[in-house]
Amino acid sequence: MQNCHNYQIEHKDRFLNELFDLLRIPSVSADSTKNKDTAQCAEAVKNALLQAGCEIAEVCSTAGHPIVYAEKIIDPSLPTILTYGHYDVQPPDPLDLWTSGPFEPVVVDGKIYARGSCDDKGQMFMHVKALECMHATNSLACNVKFIIEGEEEVGSTNLGKFLEDNKEKLKADIVLVSDTSMISMEHPSIETGLRGLAYMEVEVTGPNRDLHSGVYGGAVANPITILSKMIASLHDENNHIVVDGFYDDVQELTTAERTALNTAPFVLEEYKSELGINNVWGEKGYTTLERTGVRPTMELNGIWGGYIGEGAKTVLPSKAFAKISMRLVPNQNSHKIAEIFTAHFNKIAPDCVSVKVTEHHGGEPVVTPTDSNAYKAAEKALETTFGKKPIPTRGGGSIPIIALFEKTLGLKTVLMGFGLDNDNIHSPNEKFDVVNFYKGIETIPYFHKYFAEMQSA
Ligand code: BES
Ligand code: MN
Ligand code: MN
């Protein structure tokens, strides 16, 4: 692997510049006015994969944003690694909170600032450059396939069908993903689970039109007041979620599992000061690591209604809205939770209003094995480049397609992420350490090598 790493050192500045070219493309999947940019980004990823040594690279159109597929088969008898990542990014707003333009990447204090630097262009591109290093130095140990999608941030709507339609083409031994975080550079870690997601939107309607709040106020229910009360009732005084049946399928951890989870390095004081909060909040009886890793949650993502323009307007609004999402853990099911939530929300609505509940995209929780060759190869690869054995953790985020890799293709996943929790993904000033970017490129070839060795042993 020394040649491979020497090649990386020789070309490291170019690798960073090429990443910058990708980061300059505003491939915001949620914003249809950016569809051209998103399509252009898919082309750029395809070209990068060809340049890195793939024999086949194609942009596959879907009902939504295109999927980039690529492969390099060196020997059909060798194991095949299917690398998954996404080239789409979250919207950059609020724009005024960025220190530099979200699509004008810069390095400040050793960190790359740009939307997508960590989630996931920067991490996905590590795999492209790692392939280039392995290909250029003849050190590829496995066949490689790539799926880089453009709809992860909007729920991977069309990737499920792509998996169904391309089972043969996507045959592999393992899925490798860098789209999660590790604890820190001093404490490398591997996420061994992701939470699922059920995302709901609610609409509360009172009178059939906006009313004068003096003429009618006090006699007609205000949908904002009613919605606020309904929302407030969804957590009890212990911050448990009050939705009938919500916890029914939740898999409780054993005492040993809980102890193991809580041995991960975590300093509560640092956590609080870094977030600017005086205290943490959450479900009674669980630690912060448990609250974000293995417990289901419910979050308000947005709430609106009535007059929010300049000055004052005395109005009793006709409608109020909220976006509410729930993070799910094994063995909860997103559709079942969506149904339970809908029934509950309808049940608690007073008869002076009507409510409408709709379901947005969701995803299922996953746990990845820690006794597999793939996990052991990732563990050994990180130990080789970080000098420390990585610890298994449970991540709080969601990547909906991971459950489908298993369900549709029968493939397990390794989540070898190089981001940090405070990289501001989805927030202003998203960043990714240049060191992490290079460490990733250095570590990935070791994964390939160790995985090949372990699979053939
Ligand atoms: N890469 C993240 C998920 C993630 C981040 C997992 C950090 C673990 C640690 C992914 O791009 C993401 O943001 N997923 C969304 C879900 C999607 C359906 C919008 C999420 O978790 O909110
Ligand atoms: Mn991501
Ligand atoms: Mn994301």
The reply to whether CATH 3.30.70.360 applies to domain 196-250+296-363 is yes
Tell me what percent of the residues of the chain surpass a pLDDT of 70. Answer: 100
Looking at the CA of 327, name the nearest ligand: 1
Q: Tell me: the pLDDT tens digits for 372-400?
A: 999 999 999 999 999 999 999 999 999 99
Q: Tell me: the pLDDT tens digits for 272-289?
A: 999 999 999 999 999 999
Q: Tell me: the pLDDT tens digits for 22-38?
A: 999 999 999 999 999 99
Looking at the CA of 413, name the nearest ligand: 1
| Sheet with 189-191, edge to edge strand ranges | 56-60, 67-72, 143-149, 80-86, 174-177, 413-415, 189-191, 391-393
Q: Which CATH number fits domain 2-194+365-456: 3.40.630.10, 3.40.50.1980, 3.40.390.10, 3.40.50.620?
A: 3.40.630.10
Mean pLDDT, residues 255-276 taken together: 94
Q: What is the CA(90)–ligand 2 centre distance, in A? A: 9
Which of 149, 329, 394, 399 maximizes ligand 1 atoms within 8 Å of its Cβ, making it the mutation to test the pocket?
A: 399
Lookup: tokens for 353? 């209003």
**DSSP per position, 315-371:** EE-SEEEEEEEEEE-TT--HHHHHHHHHHHHHHH--TTSEEEEEEEEEE--EE--SS
Q: Going by CA atoms, what residue is nearest to atom 10 of ligand 1?
A: 399
Backbone angles phi, psi at 242, to 5 degrees: -100, 80
Which of 179, 197, 423 maximizes ligand 1 atoms within 8 Å of its Cβ, making it the mutation to test the pocket?
A: 179
Q: What is the CA(399)–ligand 1 centre distance, in A? A: 5
Residue 58 confidence (pLDDT):
98
Instruction: Calculate the average pLDDT of the chain.
Output: 97
- Please report the atom of ligand 1 found closest to the CA of residue 398: 21
Q: What is the CA(139)–ligand 3 centre distance, in A? A: 32
Say if residue 209's pLDDT is above 90.
yes
Residue 14 confidence (pLDDT):
98
Taking the model in full, what pTM does it have? Answer: 0.95
Q: What is the CA(30)–ligand 1 centre distance, in A? A: 14
Mean pLDDT, residues 227-232 taken together: 98
CB within 8 Å of 403: residues ≥ 6 apart: 196, 363, 364, 365, 366
Which band of pLDDT confidence, cut at 50, 70 and 90, is reported for residue 1? confident
Q: Where in the chain is the domain with CATH 3.40.630.10?
A: 2-194+365-456
Q: What is the CA(11)–ligand 3 centre distance, in A? A: 28
Residue 376 confidence (pLDDT):
98
Residue 48 confidence (pLDDT):
98
- Please report the atom of ligand 1 found closest to the CA of residue 363: 18
Report which of 366, 305, 398, 332 is spatially closest to residue 119, judged by C-alpha positions. 398
Q: Which residues line ligand 1 (CB under 6 A)?
A: 119-120, 152-153, 155, 179-181, 194, 197, 361, 363, 395, 397-400, 425
- Please report the atom of ligand 1 found closest to the CA of residue 181: 9
CB within 8 Å of 63: residues ≥ 6 apart: 157, 158
Residue 133 confidence (pLDDT):
98
Q: Tell me: the pLDDT tens digits for 308-357?
A: 999 999 999 999 999 999 999 999 999 999 999 999 999 999 999 999 99
**DSSP per position, 15-80:** HHHHHHHHHTS--BTT-GGGHHHHHHHHHHHHHHHHHHT-SEEEEE--SSS-EEEEEE-S-TTS-E
- Please report the atom of ligand 1 found closest to the CA of residue 191: 8
Helix (H) or strand (E) holding 96: none
Q: Where in the chain is the domain with CATH 3.30.70.360?
A: 196-250+296-363
Q: List, as ranges, residues with CB under 5 A of the ion ligand 2.
A: 119-120, 179
Say if residue 112's pLDDT is above 90.
yes
CB within 8 Å of 225: residues ≥ 6 apart: none
